[in-house]
Structure 1
Amino acid sequence: MTLSAVKTHRELLTDRATGHGMPGGLFGRQDVFENDVDIFFTQHWILVGVTSDIAEPGDVSTLDIGKSSILLIRDDDEQVQAFRNVCRHRGARLKPAGKSTVGLLVCPYHQWTYDLDGSLKHAAHMGQNFDPTCKRLIPVHTKVVGTHIFVCLADEAPEDISYLDHVMSPRFAQYELTYSKIAHESEIIENGNWKLVIENNRECYHCAGTHPELTASFLPEDFGFCTDGLSEDSLQALDEYHRRNADTKRNWENEGYLCDAVEHLGEDVVTQFRSQRLVIAGHGESQTLDTRVACTRLFGHITRRDLGDMHLWTHNSWTHVMSDHAVISYIIPLAPDKTLVRTKWLVHADAIEGVDYQLDKLTEVWAATNLQDASLVGITHSGTQDPAYAPGPFSAFTESYVDQFSRWYSARLAAHGV
């Protein structure tokens, strides 16, 4: 194929038939990947951590996102700050990726020294006319919602993060997630494009056949179900499932717990998210194999174990909060075919491992599910790069959120002139 015959990013988007998957070029091409990072991970709000990543003043968490790098810092006033990881002298990185604790931020090159609020405190040999107030660290837009740390690297951040905050803050309030700690965290590099990671997360069409641990507590019917061909007994069982869900929801709402689905997902939306309190199967307490709590020290001042799963999706993350623990995952794209998935398991800050919880029970469901998903993403990415690949139709019953994500993706690119 000649260079002139190579389709543009926009032409690849217009190739997508209505209700069908994306063409392979949108997953495998380097130019598409670079556009995606610039738009979806720079111009949009993204989840990059939790408050317990930087629990104490002086704690720093450094993350690389494409060519950018940011410092998440807990300052001396215990506020969460975020700065570009670029020295204002000659651009050296102040900290490598990972976590650390500092008193001051000292550039390893020429020892320019910054306070935790980003102000330049020391710069040797710059003369009396040098004004250090002009060389503060460059701030990054930051929003803490519950325990979630969202940032936006754009000069002007989308304003509708305020709606996410408005919806989610009261939903997270009773859990008091800022008074939590990380019991365990994991990193998986999935061999697939970031959009395939999110598409996989947006449907449970695959769950029954691939996620035995997850479906012990998670109900795939919550995200679509086709009744064609079901027996009378199966239809009755499905009706009973819907009645049980409705009864549980009324019970929660009578006690003041927010339940309804909120979907901020349309093509005119910038900061995309979805939330709902979902019923947990079995004993209904937590996402564990026996569906009972993994941690007996519940969040906040909660006494009720069966509060379901308060979930939150964004375009780079998914969260599940139960009465006893939370599982928060977010993604960072590394290459067209490489995506970093970070997952953190949170418990009450005073919970003691071996007394209040056993780590294997706490992590058994999502540790297995993440590995299974990584495998699914890998074989799907590989298949989309095969010359024989032709995008197939989505299930209108179980993949509507995948189709919606595809439409939102196209609309956001168009909004940025792609």
Structure 2
Amino acid sequence: MSAANLRTHAEVAHSRQPGHGMPGELFGRQDVFETDVDVFFHRHWILAGVTADVPQAGDVSAVDLERASILIVRDDDENIRAYRNVCRHRGARLKEAGKSTVGLLVCPYHQWTYDLDGSLKHTAHMGIDFDRSCRSLMPVKTRVVGGHIFVCLADHAPADIEFLAQTMIPRFAPYDLTRTRIAYETDIVENGNWKLVIENNRECYHCGATHPELTASFLPEDFGFCPQGLSDESQRALEAYHARNAASIASWERDGLICGTVERLAPDVATGFRTQRLVIAGDGESQTMDTRVASRKLLGDLSRRDLGDMHLWTHNSWTHVMSDHAVVSYIIPLAPDKTLVRTKWLVHEDAVEGVDYDLNALTEVWVATNAQDAQLVSINYRGTQDPAYRPGPFSPFTETYLELFSQWYAARLGMDTA
């Protein structure tokens, strides 16, 4: 198709046959990628870090979001703030991507100096009449939810972040994720479009054949299955699954824990998310190979180990919180065929490696799973760019979230590019 005959982004998105995957153009075109970044990563709320990234006053985390960049800062009053990573003089980057600790934010180009509250404190050679008060760093809208730092680069951020906050703050409260530290973190660049990364994360059709480490603790029935033509053995397993789920939920609710599923991904919703407390297989304690806690120092002030997996999914992140640790992943698009997947393993702030936990036991499930998913996304992306690709049907049993995501994506694209 010649450049002159290219369909618009919205036209391609709305051409998708219901119940089927997205057209390959939505994954491979540069213009589509650029619109995606603008709409879904600049105008919507995205997860950009955790409070453990900046544990002390003066700590800074610089996060690049394609051409944009932000500084996440803990100020002298222990507040989490975010600013555009752009000097108000001639636009130099204040910090390269990564973490650091500062007393003040000093531009490396001409040494304009900013306080942690964003105010411009010092400039040389600007004259006595120069008004510093109108040259503060440009703030970025920020919302901290249970240790998760959400940001929005738009002038008018979607107000429904408050529904996510009201839903998740009491669910995260028992774990007190603000009192954690990062035990380990990884960056993986997956060779695929960001939407394929999210789609891969939101279905477990592939899990049994490709994720032996993950399925040691996941119950496959939680992620959909075909109930038709079950053998007697499979039927008994299904009944056991329902019985275990019911017993676990009853036990958790007696302890005052919130368990119900919230699915918020309708086309008219800006801040889409899903949350659920999932039962863990085996001993039921944690997402580890033996399904027991990896850290004897539990999160918050918890004493009970078998609290399942408190799950949160957004359009650029997924979080799993167990009694002993949390795994927080989020994505940043780099190119049509490149997506950064950043994962952080959080433990109690007082947990000591080698004493309270073994690092390999803590991380091996998701280290392996992330590597496996990277390979799956790569082969998926390459196939969608083949001239022979025609979007196939979603499974109505195991890929229902992919249909919801596809509908949400097309609707938000239309609303935010109108």
1:14, CA displacement in angstroms? Answer: 2.4
Cα pair 2:39 2:417 within 8 Å, conserved: no
CA distance in 1, matches of 2:6, 2:51: 45
SS at match of 2:351: coil
Q: Give the equivalent residue in structure 1 for 2:175.
A: 175
Are residues 1:198 and 2:194 paired?
Answer: no
Matches within 5 A, 1:199-348: 199-348=199-348
Q: How many angstroms apart in 2 are the aligned matches of 1:229 and 1:39?
A: 43
Residues in 1 aligned to 2:389 and 2:53: alpha-carbon distance in whole angstroms: 41
Q: Distance in 2 between matches of 1:150 and 1:126?
A: 36
Deviation by residue 1:206-229 (Cα, 9 ceiling, x = unmatched): 100100000000112112111122
Separation in structure 2 between the aligned mates of residue 143 and residue 39 of structure 1, nearest angstrom = 19
Letter in 1 for 2:199: E
Tell me which amino acid in the other structure corresponds to 2:13.
L
Q: In structure 2, what is the Cα distance between the partners aligned to 1:325 and 1:142?
A: 24
Greater Cα offset, 122-131 or 373-382: 122-131
Q: How far apart are 1:243 and its partner, in Å?
A: 1.3
- CA distance, structure 2, for counterparts of residue 227 and residue 176 of structure 1: 39
SS state of the match for residue 244, structure 1?
helix
- Which residue of structure 1 lines up, in the alignment, with residue 68 of structure 2? 68
The answer as to 2:179 corresponding to 1:148 is: no
Q: TM-score, normalised by structure 2?
A: 0.99
Residues 135-179 of structure 1: CA distance to partner in whole angstroms, max 9, x if unpaired?
Answer: 000000000001100000001110000011100000010111100
1:3 positional shift: 2.8
CA distance in 1, matches of 2:415, 2:48: 24
* 124-133 vs 44-53, which moves further: 124-133
Paired position in structure 1 for 2:404:
404
SS of residue in 2 equivalent to 1:402: helix
- 1: CA distance, partners of 2:315 / 2:120: 35
Gaps of 5+ in 1: none
1:338-359 deviations in whole A, cap 9, x for unaligned? Answer: 0000000000000000000000
CA–CA separation in structure 2 for the residues paired with 1:392 and 1:325: 38
CA distance in 2, matches of 1:122, 1:59: 20
Counterparts of 1:1-150 in structure 2, within 5 Å, are 1-150=1-150
Q: Distance in 1 between matches of 2:79 and 2:184?
A: 24
Aligned residues: 418
How far apart are the structure 1 equivalents of 2:2 and 2:223? 44
143-152 or 11-20, which moves further after superposition? 11-20
Q: Aligned partner of 1:155: which letter? A: D
| Root mean square deviation of aligned Cα | 0.8
- Return 5+ residue gaps in structure 2 as ranges: none
| Alignment of structure 1 residues 348-367 onto 2, 5 Å | 348-367=348-367
Query: Displacement of 1:236 after TM fit?
Result: 2.0
- Separation (CA, whole Å) in 1 of partners of 2:48 and 2:3: 37
Q: Percent identity?
A: 69
Residue aligned with 2:276, SS: strand
Q: Deviations over 1:187-215 (max 9, x none)?
A: 00000000000000111111001000000
Q: TM-score, normalised by structure 1?
A: 0.99
Determine if contact 2:305/2:323 at 8 Å carries over to the other structure: yes
State the one-letter code of the partner of 1:393. Answer: P
